Chain A
Amino acid sequence: MIKFLTKGIIRDRSRSLFPVLVVTLAVAMIIFFQGFFTGIMNSMFLDSAVVSTGHVKVMTRGYKEESQLLPNDLALLGTDQLVNELGQDYPDLFWSPRITFGGLLDVPDENGETQAQGPVLALGIDFLSPKSRQIEIWKLERRLIDGRLPENANEALLSTRLAGQLGLSSGETVTLIGSTMYNAFTTFNFTVVGTFKLNLGPVDRQMMLVDITGARLALDMENASSEILGYTNSLYYDDTAAVALRGRYNKINSDSTDIFSPIMMALRDVNQMGTMVDYMSAASGLIVGVFLVISMIVLWNMGLMNGLRRYGEIGMRLAMGESKGQVYRSMIMESVIIGFIGTIIGTAMGLGLTYYMQEVGLDYSDAMESLGSTEIIMSNVFYAQVTPELYYIGFMPGVLATVLGTMLAGRAIYKREMAQLFKELET
């Protein structure tokens, strides 16, 4: 009988191809939307995390209070030991020291006179230590427009905008004019080895990236850093886990009476990111949820209609002596098979599309131009993200809704007289 029914399903496209197509499309769209929204969310969080917040970050209490002024006189000391301890205590994250500083960049002409000058926001990042993942998370190889990555302490990368403003190109030397962590005047020469473009709106307008060893030399910050940024190994921001970690760390390590005692902040604690995290989570959940419900109704209805359409066949099979249970079970089995096939194909399609968007992304640079003054760090390219739940989320609408619809339609087998099923065939 199974062989007989399978033959029928395969031949009857309205029972096989059409339902499988509907399930496939619905599941693929659900998976893609879920992956796309998750990707956008995580992409936004990761961009902020990379440039300024980390998933969590540690600084002194004093630095936190004055952070807008980049007060490196309140920097963390004994950074190497702190990073080691954080790595041991919280192995799910990797930790990287960072010095953020401002100053003036002076470009000399061939006589050593000032040719151009401009303000700079510089980041001293741990690019050069062997286990550093900073080049990876900054995506510097992709974002490098010209030249090469820094290989020494006195080498720097400039944003294309800053390099353009100062008329600089790779190989030229610039002088940083600023103050040390002890508030003394300092000058330090960097060689520009390349230019980059972050595609993050206005954030890289005046940005210079140097290795942290160079920043330490320039600012006299031996084994010190403005902040230590922590990132999950998967680079996926889990707000609940980050908040819990921040709470645990501060309870043990932070002393509210000591401005030099360390304090940890989660991504949501910085620059209104908390509102953004809550808003994005709610919006994404709502959009995907609504779509999930709509898909479930469509698939449930399809299962229902497929069942209703077959009342005549059901009546005929009952007349020939199949039991009600047999007919009902065979209908459900059929919808389970169709649901599974559609869900598996849909999941594969959805994952493929999501993976493609994860790798290629959706560029909306033009739209970002109109948001030029925003302070929120946002990528100009939306990337989707393949997450573990995408592998199973489609089964709920794909199999469950389809089967529920069929089960409901199949109740007629028990509710109605068999003769009534024939009448419905003939009308």
Chain B
Amino acid sequence: MGNSVVTINNLVKRFPVGGDFFTALKNVNLSLEKGEFTGLVGPSGSGKTTLLNVIGGLDSPSEGSVTVLKKSLGETSHNERAELRRKNMGFIFQSYNLLPVYTVFENVELPLILNKVDPQERYNKVAQAIEWVGLSDKINSRPAMLSGGECQRTAIARAIVHEPTLVLADEPTANLDAENSHHIMKIMVKLNKELSTSFIFATHDEKIMDYLRRIIHLDDGQIINDEQIDRPKSGS
């Protein structure tokens, strides 16, 4: 529990469908430690994105408890959860979710503005994050001028610029070709090692699995297998 980043006990998540409920997660129990590089793996509809959203506080549990960075999400207010995300979490999405009217620099800058980091420090951190993902030459480009891989690298820079403890990535390589997928994953492995940032992926992309050090298999809203990998195939 000392290094625990996420602790989930008996989590159930139901969604109203018509007049009934659909149960997306059923009695999920899980613990993730600091610095883990973990994948939630399973077919479409298995509940991996829902689990990621619940961990990020974007969805609330129907039953059970979810503790993230020692804060029980069920007992925190919306503003406390917002602060938790602002300071300690980063998000990477399948469709990048970059703001189209802002440049790469400005998109990456947003989490630091929300954290009220002073302008000089902000500039340094944004420049550093953009350098990490290898986009220093695209700093003033807008998302429409970038390739899919470059957009996702911008999203990664945005997710890690404030050096969060936990990064949640939902299908980060789904829209990318193989070369870009490997490039992205290598960047995240590097950040995981250098910053000790924990990464949790929701994915069914085989390419990602080669990099993971823990794979949690989900099916029909339940964990069916929790697999530790000492030597990932990619060598990470």
Contacts and interface: CB of A to CB of B under 8 A. Distances in A.
Interface in A276-322: 312-313, 315-322
20 contacts: A4-B110, A7-B101, A12-B100, A315-B58, A316-B93, A319-B91, A320-B110, A321-B84, A321-B86, A321-B87, A321-B111, A322-B82, A322-B114, A323-B79, A323-B82, A418-B53, A422-B58, A422-B93, A426-B94, A426-B95
B55 to A, nearest CB: 11
B125 to A, nearest CB: 15
Contact of A321 (B83, B101, B102): B83
A319 B99 contact: no
Give the interface size bracket for A toward B. Answer: 20 to 34
A324 interface: yes
Contacts of B59: 417-419
A8 interface: yes
A417 B53 CA distance: 10
Interface residues of B, number: 31
Contacts of B111: 320-321
A422 B82 CA distance: 16
Interface of B: 50, 53, 56, 58-60, 78-79, 82-87, 89, 91, 93-95, 97, 99-102, 106, 109-111, 113-115
A7 to B, nearest CB: 7
B95 A425 contact: yes
A252 interface: no
- Of B59, B89, B93, B115, most buried by chain A (CB within 10 Å of CB) is B93
A321 B114 contact: yes
Contacts of A1: 113-114
A425 B82 contact: no
Contacts of B91: 316, 319-320
A7 B97 contact: no
B58 A418 contact: yes
A320 B101 contact: no
Given A312-B97, A318-B82, A320-B85, 11 more contacts: A7-B102, A8-B101, A316-B99, A319-B91, A320-B91, A321-B85, A321-B86, A321-B89, A322-B86, A419-B53, A419-B58
Nearest to A3: B113
- Of B59, B60, B99, most buried by chain A (CB within 10 Å of CB) is B99
B56 to A, nearest CB: 7
Interface string A407-419: 0000000000111
Interface of A: 1, 4, 7-8, 11-12, 312-313, 315-325, 417-419, 422, 425-426
Contact of A313 (B53, B58, B99): B99
Contacts of A425: 95, 97
A322 B112 CA distance: 11
Contacts of A325: 79
A319 B106 contact: no
A422 B110 contact: no
Contact of B86 (A4, A313, A320): A320
B151 to A, nearest CB: 13
Contacts of A320: 85-86, 91, 110-111, 114
A315 B87 CA distance: 17
B163 to A, nearest CB: 14
A8 B83 CA distance: 24
B129 to A, nearest CB: 14
A12 B99 CA distance: 10
A422 B97 contact: yes
A12 B82 contact: no
Contacts of A323: 78-79, 82
Contacts of B58: 315, 318-319, 417-419, 422
Contacts of A319: 56, 58, 85, 91
